[in-house]
Structure 1
Amino acid sequence: MSFGGHVNDMINRVKQNAALKNARRNKFKGGNDYAKTKNIKTAYSFPKFSKDELEIFKLKVQNEVKKEKIKQLKILVFVTVLVIVFLLFIFY
């Protein structure tokens, strides 16, 4: 019985995957540059909100999301009605 090189190919792939695994090991064991950078200031500083401002901001965002959902629902209903009217026009 001949395997036609399939087994040899499988063995080579296992060896290649093992080599890749060893090469990536340093990345997760602290050999990367980001493991040593703790005190880097980002380019953007996040604003500080008081509790009142935070509540106002949350309500504003919630209202915007609610308006967007209503807008999407209106569009969905309009398109659905349009498709139904179109199908009725075609088949009757």
Structure 2
Amino acid sequence: MSGHIIDMVNRIKQNSLPTRKKFQGDNRSMLFHEGSSVTYDFPNPTSEKLEAIKSNIREKASQEQRKSFLILAICIAVMAVLITLFLINYNYRFSTLV
């Protein structure tokens, strides 16, 4: 416990020293600088190319959706089979004991 108090006292002593510079005045010069002269040339596709890109994206999205529905259906079918097998085995096991 006393170690923390000594550390706090040392920090207060260090902060009260007048030779230590708390705020440096010229650190903000890089914040407000002129804009760079680099320009980027982005492609400007025609409206036909944009429509082709959109249709391509829609087609891929529908394929992914169909694939995810197929995987979901397979998982549901497997779970139904497993639950059915469990219930059949569960009823069979306990009906023989009674």
Higher relative contact order (CA 8 A, sep 6+): 1
Q: Distance in 1 between matches of 2:29 and 2:79?
A: 56
Q: TM-score, normalised by structure 1?
A: 0.53
* Uncovered stretches (5+) of structure 1, i.e. residues with no partner: 1-30
Structure 1 residues 1-92: aligned runs within 5 Å: 31=28, 33=30, 36=33, 38-39=35-36, 41=38, 46-92=42-88
User: Normalising by structure 2, what TM-score?
Assistant: 0.50
**Unaligned 5+ runs, structure 2:** 1-27, 89-98
Aligned length: 61
Q: Name the amino acid aligned to 2:62.
A: K
Q: What letter matches 2:86 in structure 1?
A: I
Could you tell me which amino acid in structure 2 is paired with residue 50 of structure 1?
Answer: T
Shift of 1:37: 6.1
Question: What RMSD in Å do the two structures reach over aligned CA positions?
Answer: 2.7
Larger radius of gyration: 2
Give, in angstroms, the shift of residue 34 of structure 1.
6.5
Q: 1:33: Cα distance to partner?
A: 4.9
Per-residue deviation at 1:75?
Answer: 0.4
